[in-house]
Amino acid sequence: MKRTKLGIIGCGMISSTYFAASKKFRNIEVIACHDIIPERAVAKGEEFGARSVSLDEMLADPEIEIVLNLTPPKEHSKVDLAVIGAGKHVYSEKPFGVDIDDALKVITLAEKKGVRVGCAPDTFLGGGLQTVRKILDDNWIGRPLSGTAIVQGRGPEKWGHAPFFYDYGAGPMLDLGPYYVTALVNLLGPAKSVTAMTGRGEAFRTYGAEVSEEYQAQYKPYDRYPVNVSTHQAGVIEFGNGVLITMIASFDVHHHGHAPIEIYGTDGSLQVPDPNTFGGPVRLFRKGFTRWEDVPLAYGCTGNGRSIGAADMARALENGRPHRADGKLAFHVLEVMLAFDRSQKEGRRIDIQSTCERPAPLPLGLEEGDIGD
């Protein structure tokens, strides 16, 4: 089996997950890493057995076929363009960009250069969401009609480091929305329009204010910083197949009792697991029954598998088929997410201009660490 060689740009918090999870997939290997703060690349390289290199060295290395871009959101398109410009395939963390124009430049240059673009999240390839996809495709709830997608919390105050999350390019929709909207597009197909209202609960937030005393001791708490994005976004996504999903993404909520995603069909209802995870639970309510049933997961990759999208991209390249966590899917998801604020600003329903293919489901019966042909 071919082992495609990968490089990582951006050796911050999430990079450890990629370094570790990529080792689960037999067809990929991270051999080099880079960060604008070189000590970070050196440390991760030593921990996970990769060479720390300069950007130029990474882009010139003929062995590296795919570069994982794990930089902060505002850097994504700039780094993607550099990688593509060097003739390499790129797989970026989410969101795909912070505005449509930059994201479009990435898609356009990749087409010109004949290279592939992939993008997180790849959680929709996990055992939980693949099981939901099979239940829907096999018509267990009949024709889907409507549903909800609700991601709410108090934002990053709970986990300490915060300012980046309240700045342009983040907020609850661009930070957490990609998991939800990508899951929905995988389940239901591309979206057609968005009608929404958005707002900002507080003009300033206080860093570390809601973490435990023990955690506060590790961070410098109580710096106030401005909120530059809407922190509550509520609306309806109309999908091309007519399904209406009510979506809320909020950093203004202390506690709530909604399931992450529910889908209601002509013959039943489905509770979808948290799309920021790879596992379950998956719950089904069938017409005529009196309660939810837990559905056993039919697929593997239920632990933290961030890298499965890159492993799939590597195999897709080898076998000349489309990869699943595709840049065009991520571009469409970005347009849907940005339409919430646009709908508020323009006071109208926003028609979504882009579209994408619904990714192929994974085959049943894959061994752990295998991604199929």
- Spatial contact of 151 and 260, defined as CB atoms under 8 Å apart: yes
Q: Length of the chain in residues, anyone?
A: 373
Residue 73 binds to ligand NAD (criterion: CB under 6 A): yes
Q: For 79-114, what is the HEC assignment? A: HHHHHHHCCCEEEECCCCCCCHHHHHHHHHHHHHHC
C-alpha dihedral sign at 224, 229, 235, 238: negative
Instruction: Kindly give the pairing relationship between strand 244-250 and strand 144-152.
Output: parallel
When binding is defined by CB under 6 A, the residue of 71, 250, 271, 354 that contacts ligand NAD is 71
Question: Distance between CA 4 and CA 27 in Å, rounded?
Answer: 6
Residue 364 binds to ligand NAD (criterion: CB under 6 A): no
Q: Which of 84, 105, 109 is nearest to 96 (CA)?
A: 105
Q: Which of 279, 283, 286 is nearest to 261 (CA)?
A: 283
CB of 154 to ligand NAD, least distance (A): 16
Residue 81 binds to ligand NAD (criterion: CB under 6 A): no
Considering the complex, state which of residue 73 and residue 127 has its C-beta at the smaller distance from ligand NAD: 73
Question: Distance between CA 363 and CA 373 in Å, rounded?
Answer: 9
Draw the binding track, 1-40, toward ligand NAD (x: CB under 6 A; -: no contact): --------xxxxxxx------------------xxxx--x
Location of structure tokens 């919390």? 153
Considering the complex, state which of residue 118 and residue 268 has its C-beta at the smaller distance from ligand NAD: 118
Instruction: Kindly give the pairing relationship between strand 191-199 and strand 350-351.
Output: antiparallel
**35-64 positions binding ligand NAD, by CB under 6 A:** 35-37, 40
Residue 79 binds to ligand NAD (criterion: CB under 6 A): yes
When binding is defined by CB under 6 A, the residue of 8, 21, 30, 70 that contacts ligand NAD is 70
Q: Contacts with ligand NAD: how many residues (CB under 6 A)?
A: 20
Considering the complex, state which of residue 34 and residue 323 has its C-beta at the smaller distance from ligand NAD: 34
When binding is defined by CB under 6 A, the residue of 5, 20, 57, 72 that contacts ligand NAD is 72
| Residue ranges that bind ligand NAD, judged by CB under 6 A | 9-15, 34-37, 40, 70-73, 75, 79, 93-94
